[in-house]
Structure 1
Amino acid sequence: MRERKLQPPKGPLQGKIEVPGDKSISHRSVMFGSLAHGTTHVQHFLGSEDCLRTLTIFQAMGVKIEQKGSSLTIFGKGPEALKEPLEPLYFGNSGTTARLMLGILAGLPMFTTLHGDISLTKRPMNRVVEPLRLMGAQIDGRDHGNYLPLAIRGQTMKGIRYELPVKSAQVKSAILLAGLFAEGETTVTESTSTRNHTETMLEAFGAELHINGTAVSLKGNQTLTATDIYVPGDISSAAFFLVAAAIVPGSSLKLLNVGLNETRTGIIDVLLEMGADIQIENERQKGGERIGNITITYRELKAVTIEGEIIPRLIDEIPIIALLATQAEGTTVIKDARELRVKETDRIRAVTETLTRLGANIKETKDGFIICGKTKLVGNRVESYHDHRMGMLAAVASLITTTEVTIDDITPIATSYPSFFKDLEQII
């Protein structure tokens, strides 16, 4: 554990930051590059603990991957060249690695066992395991395969038509990845569109997809061909600095080369609705993903209600949005976010406890929050809850507290943003 004490800054935040590569896309670049035939080059890869778990797992299955800084070269020889790992595969704290790899491993002709750290071991896997079993997967583990550790006996799968009962890009992606190796066609239908990085990357690697509204279909036994991938800046990481500039009076920040995929930009929509001053420049397409520079300048904010279809587009940003709401005039209500209960920690409970300790007027509900602002925040000792986003939330909150904030353990932040404090210090 690494404790960190943070003093409030003496003035506004100013400067430019290029946030690290997108975590979701970095994971998928390794997966698809390893499953493809040929050499894939990846630029701006996020070298965080979570993404490195995915990288080392494919190395354990015989894939040659060279890393130089934030660049990867992946020498793919197709799924048929993957070897059965000699040891259990360790996913650390990475839910993305765990759930997407279930889809891949279920259709490969090998036996694998999977485990993770204490936090990941508490996160439910049945939302992925159940549809994979419908496709013919043999998966067993604790609580009938609901929790890690899990054991998979890979075999030939059959395509299915599946309507997602939860709004989860991880579940959708796991089923599509399994469908890539299955006989026949696989179709996944969502009630609300979630992030589409898997679909975008499947097409980039040459797979044929059919997208009809919120339904995605692909035929099995397709061959992927290597390509070059540029990983845009992670908007989930950028969100912490967008909120920081929005709540520290006089601030103005520019964030460079941030991913602007429309399934991920809910945080920008909310900031604009609350009255934030945001400008987006140099928008362009790179590697199938939209990117651009975001400039945010401090301005007084007003409360809003956040619910419904926008929730999947900002689910990971809700903790930092809750902090934002403490500095908006009026009562902000966040609904339909029950999914936060099964993240790295119960984020509804953790956010409520953290912001309450810092003096916020916040009430927990079954699927979100009621937050009354504008509230002056005070310093205190808070937990990170072994959750990277909770650690960064506390750090951003310290920018407006009256006294020092102490975070009990900042090590989880490295799972998604190893350079977070370095970037924070350069704009204070």
Structure 2
Amino acid sequence: MSGHGTPIPMTSRRCGPLAGTAQVPGDKSISHRSLILGAMCVGTTRITGLLEGDDVLDTARAMRAFGARVTDHGDGAWSVEGVGVGGFAEPDRVIDCGNSGTGVRLIMGAMATAPITATFTGDASLNARPMGRVTDPLALFGARATGRAGGRLPLTIEGARDPLPVQYTVPVPSAQVKSAVLLAALGAPGETIVIEREPTRDHTERMLAGFGAEIEVEDTDEGRIITLQGQPELQPQDIAVPRDPSSAAFPVCAALIVPGSDVLVPGIGLNPTRAGLFTTLREMGADLTYENEREEGGEPVADLRARHSPDMTGIRVPPERAASMIDEYPVLSVVAAFARGTTDMPGVKELRVKESDRIDAMAQGLRACGVAVEDGPDWWRVEGTGAVPGGATVESRLDHRIAMAFMVLGMASETPVTVDDGRPITTSFPIFETLMGDLGAQLERGAPA
């Protein structure tokens, strides 16, 4: 999604029971990685269930710019004819990654050890986000980055012509940083070691192994140690993308707070590094069950059934769980407003540097809707009373998860809730309006009359 154009306000009204089956889109994290790793193989990778949101489509366009042949066959089926590790061509245009921090950081890593130069940009939100956390470790391989003050986009990366393997300890829990380093390591000879003190989502490690890379993961007292042998010949794969737990969060949380609701969300990926929200909701007393648990494509999957849960209570979310649910804190704060008591969320400073400052965005919006919120540099606290007045127009700040969280709030608040711009939703959940409407939500474009 571009940061330009006319804002589209969206309003959510209190609705009757939500009921039915919510077929949420494919996992965004796995969709990005499928396209990038497919481009780094020799041969054709076939993907089904790809998320066709703006973020992932920007990554597909980027892979074409680097020389891969990326084809949309319709209904979420795509193929990627790759160019091999180190085989990226130099793009003849600026790579526009739109709103996607994941896309731009992973693509930077993938090209950083190829002897090419590429320039990256994005929308207003992405261009305000820090990139030094990625370009600093990429420099250890021999890549050079030149950008705006603070290491912000637009930014040019000159890939390493004689890359070196590295040993790198990730300074903050970030799957994006870890993944960028691992993708760069594919183009460097020898053994690269990445250490993360707190485990983050491990899709990159799982998928590298699936594509034939020689990778070892060991949990130690120092943290998780990942060892990758560089310059492999990756093997093309057939990938069935599981449905996105971060997208599932919205119909699940809406069902928990709207009286009488009963919603089934099938085929959701429950990778342990991604499922922290659902664990937290159950600890709060949510009527949330896993049905038909199974494994698909190396990832644990289940159908989630969520029913209205009027007796939820606030809890302290363990800070060590933050990495497994970092994108879900906005909608968790909505549920916390309808629970009773205090929900404490410590250890979440990463939320300050997402598509927006998500702590500030949610705190300001919730307060405007009559919810008591306190916040600090790396924590926030929501005081739930079981009911929310609503009635405010809040800023989405070009952030899809902020916009959707407040749409969920409006489904159960006493008066409608409006976001000033709903366009960002298409970056990750292009069918959000239709899907929620089919369940019984009352969403409309425009401010309330």
- TM-score bin (small chain): over 0.9
- 1:73 deviation in Å? 1.1
- 1:79 deviation in Å? 3.6
Asked if the contact 2:142–2:159 (Cα under 8 Å) also holds between the matched residues in 1, the reply is no
Mapped partners of 1:7, 1:211: distance in 2: 47
Asked if the contact 1:304–1:331 (Cα under 8 Å) also holds between the matched residues in 2, the reply is yes
Mapped partners of 2:86, 2:148: distance in 1: 29
Counterpart of 1:39 in structure 2 is 44
RMSD, aligned CA: 1.1
Counterpart of 1:323 in structure 2 is 334
Deviations 1:341-369 (A, max 9, x none): 00001001000011111111111222121
Counterpart of 1:401 in structure 2 is 413
Which structure ranks higher in relative contact order (CA pairs < 8 Å, sequence separation ≥ 6)? 2
1:413 aligns with 2:418: no
Counterpart of 2:193 in structure 1 is 187
Deviations 1:273-311 (A, max 9, x none): 001112111111111111110111122101100132101
Asked if the contact 1:157–1:178 (Cα under 8 Å) also holds between the matched residues in 2, the reply is no
- 1:81 deviation in Å? 4.1
- 1:90 deviation in Å? 0.9
Mapped partners of 1:345, 1:415: distance in 2: 14
Task: Indicate which of 235, 239, 243 corresponds to 1:233.
Answer: 243
Task: Indicate which of 71, 78, 102 corresponds to 1:72.
Answer: 78
- 1:6 deviation in Å? 2.4
After TM superposition, the score normalised by the length of structure 2 is 0.93
- 1:153 deviation in Å? 1.5
Asked if the contact 1:37–1:226 (Cα under 8 Å) also holds between the matched residues in 2, the reply is yes
1:244 aligns with 2:249: no
How many residues were matched structurally?
Answer: 426
Counterpart of 1:217 in structure 2 is 227
Counterpart of 1:310 in structure 2 is 321
**Where does the alignment leave 5 or more consecutive residues of structure 1 unmatched?**
none
Aligned to 1:12, the other structure's residue is in SS state: coil
**Kindly, what percent of the aligned residue pairs are identical?**
41
Mapped partners of 2:169, 2:80: distance in 1: 34
Asked if the contact 2:85–2:187 (Cα under 8 Å) also holds between the matched residues in 1, the reply is no
- 1:340 deviation in Å? 0.3
1:49 aligns with 2:59: no
Task: Indicate which of 269, 285, 310 corresponds to 1:259.
Answer: 269
Task: Indicate which of 188, 207, 217 corresponds to 1:201.
Answer: 207
**Where does the alignment leave 5 or more consecutive residues of structure 2 unmatched?**
1-6, 441-449
Asked if the contact 1:107–1:178 (Cα under 8 Å) also holds between the matched residues in 2, the reply is yes
Asked if the contact 1:359–1:375 (Cα under 8 Å) also holds between the matched residues in 2, the reply is no
- 1:69 deviation in Å? 2.5
Matches within 5 A, 1:138-149: 138-143=144-149, 146-149=151-154
Counterpart of 2:140 in structure 1 is 134
Mapped partners of 1:227, 1:256: distance in 2: 24
Mapped partners of 1:142, 1:60: distance in 2: 23
Mapped partners of 2:330, 2:122: distance in 1: 24
Asked if the contact 2:86–2:113 (Cα under 8 Å) also holds between the matched residues in 1, the reply is no
Mapped partners of 1:334, 1:309: distance in 2: 11
Mapped partners of 1:226, 1:371: distance in 2: 46
- 1:376 deviation in Å? 2.3
Deviations 1:12-53 (A, max 9, x none): 111111110000000000000111111111000000000001
